[in-house]
Structure 1
């Protein structure tokens, strides 16, 4: 079967999301891919996520392997990769953060050569993105480069991306495999990430730590009735003092992913009962409401791609905004 090596121009550009999304897209077509980050620690979180996501992961002897200082992969790891590449299942490899520099660049070349992989380069969108910015990557991978996927196209920049940037890349000989737009689901933190951000603990329904938070609201004084105010956003976290059951109940009557109870006091039983009835996690923190909100200002930038719902969403976006047949064909040859 075919092999795709998912490379990126920078960390956090969307490599994990693309590997997971492609794996699910293949599953939807009855295939059983292998998804792997071959150069990583044994406890790497991406590989743990891939094992959870992909049915029947194979036993891997010698993989993953830590990055050697000289970039030369151990023979045992190289042999294991060749065996996987020659097997009957499509192979998706998540690349290193830098495909060009030092030991990471050397290891990237070794991975591609050992598996005869085609390379997909994931590029974060910029309004001034030019083919010249990607020339070094094209020279590095040569004929192995299948194409470029531009990720996280800003809202209201779709026309510019389609009418100017993609044609310019194509004229320069770079195949554009997709223009994937920014998406609220993909940028959403989980309840567990919100809890860590506010130094809190999930007191109720900790098993829902992977639930996504698409908006953050504060429980405070408002001229309108509380339930009306909280109904403005769905799948939200409401940051509110733990001693305000009136606001808790109003928020719980709407689409709320979790309550973040601040101030370090215990909530009353009315709140706990309603949260139990609605299946809503309660995050408890000693921070004040203001301090918790300040901590949460940057939580979207900490959000991980390692959530099954995000993988499903990225697979949907690939079907809508990428040349999915070309990507699948490279894996099924």
Structure 2
């Protein structure tokens, strides 16, 4: 069975494109169609937040979420951390890594294996484990997950098509905004299809998938939790900055949903106003402790308050980077991506292109 397993490498041309989300959503689709699905991640990149303090956090989360046995997992061959890189520079062993990768084929679980690739087509080259090399070793087809911010990404995709050749089945456009949708479907998609780059899915932007927990914000800001420690699992979907008068702030805050409000520690008026809106977190800057009255009201409403030892501009920049670049480690996000993939991904076309129809369960043949 192991020799007949089919591999699909899910890669990207830039980091934080949504590979983990697409892999998880596709796995659910395949499992629902009766396929025996396995999952792997040859290069470990997410060392923060792993439950056991080691390994790749995304790999462990997806394995647990899908309920996969050890035989259905292809764990990282190498972790891309400074220690491993330093060791490799002293004692290069690319051949050893490739042999370990080839060992994936000896595992018996799964008739179709979804592999989550590195963040770019270059990542892993130091170990001779770039996505292109991984695909060659495992005879894997490749599907790229991309974000469409402008038509400038066409150069990257044409280059990827040239480098990957016939292994590139197509792409999934993730986090697609309404303002970009028409341009992509009327001009970009026909162009890509004519150049041998089919679009297998157009996944619309969803606020929940771009959200971040209060706890993750606290970690990234290295902030102190003044109150609400038991509610750090609240999801933040938007950011508001309270730097105006209260009247303007109330109108501004009313337009946001599940927001984090960043304001100076001395702006008690703004803080109290924010607590009465759809606020999931107050983030105070300026190295001033929150007023007892604000803490009392926040505790009453169960809204966390974070104190960041940073200026407002730096705080806002860090939070802006956090949106859309966080782990898919909440049950609500898993349900969301499963639904989006079911509605906006062409599974039938993928099965036809991969040849996986031939290994379809009997009830689907």
Which residue number corresponds to residue 102 of structure 2?
A: 78
Q: Could you tell me whether the CA contact under 8 Å between 2:239 and 2:260 is conserved in 1?
A: yes
* 2:259 aligned with 1:255: no
Q: Secondary structure at the match of 1:233?
A: coil
1:32 CA drift (Å): 7.3
Counterparts of 1:1-333 in structure 2 under 5 Å? 2-26=6-30, 33-40=37-44, 43-58=55-70, 63-66=75-78, 71-72=94-95, 73-79=97-103, 81-84=104-107, 86-88=108-110, 90-99=112-121, 102-103=125-126, 107-125=130-148, 126-130=150-154, 133-206=156-229, 208-222=231-245, 224=247, 229-242=252-265, 244-287=267-310, 291-303=311-323, 304-307=325-328, 308=330, 309-327=332-350, 333=360
What SS class does the counterpart of residue 224 from structure 1 fall into? helix
8 Å contact 2:8–2:142 — kept in the other structure? yes
Task: Give secondary structure in 2 for the equivalent of 1:50.
Answer: helix
Post-superposition shift, 1:306?
Answer: 0.8
Q: CA RMSD in A?
A: 3.6
Does the Cα contact within 8 Å between 1:32 and 1:55 map onto a contact in 2? no
Alpha-carbon deviations, 1:100-157, whole Å to 9, x = none?
A: 6844665434533454432112233232444x64344334444433222233444412
Cα deviation for residue 283 of structure 1 reads 0.8
Matched residue SS, 1:276: helix
SS of match in other structure, 1:147: strand
Distance 1:142 1:118 in 2: 10
The alignment's TM-score, normalised by the length of structure 2, stands at 0.73
Residues 252 and 31 (structure 1), Cα distance of their counterparts in 2 relative to 1, 3 Å cut = farther
Give the number of aligned pairs: 327
How far 1:164 moved relative to its partner?
A: 1.0
For the 8 Å contact 2:249–2:270, the answer to whether it is kept is yes
SS of the residue 1:232 aligns to: coil
Check conservation: 2:211, 2:236, Cα contact below 8 A. Answer: yes
Give the conservation status (yes or no) of the 8 Å contact 2:231–2:302. no
1: CA distance between counterparts of 2:118 and 2:198? 22
Superimposed CA distance per residue, residues 303-331 of structure 1 (whole angstroms, 9 cap, x where no aligned partner): 43413244443333323333144447757
Deviations 1:38-62 (A, max 9, x none): 2226533332432453324527898
CA distance in 1, matches of 2:33, 2:74: 30
The whole-number CA distance in structure 1 between the counterparts of 2:227 and 2:302 is 9
| Deviation at residue 301 of structure 1 after TM alignment | 2.4
Contact in 1 for aligned 2:259/2:281 (Cα 8 Å):
yes
Given that residues 100 and 140 in structure 1 are in contact (C-alpha distance below 8 angstroms), is that contact kept between their aligned partners in structure 2?
A: no
Query: What TM-score, normalized by structure 1, do the two folds share?
Result: 0.79
d(CA) in 2 for partners of 1:109, 1:233: 43
Residues 246 and 269, structure 2, Cα contact 8 Å, conserved in 1 = no
Tell me, yes or no, if the aligned pair for 1:96 and 1:108 is still in contact at 8 Å. Answer: yes
Determine if contact 1:120/1:146 at 8 Å carries over to the other structure.
Answer: yes
Deviation at 1:162, TM superposition (A): 0.4
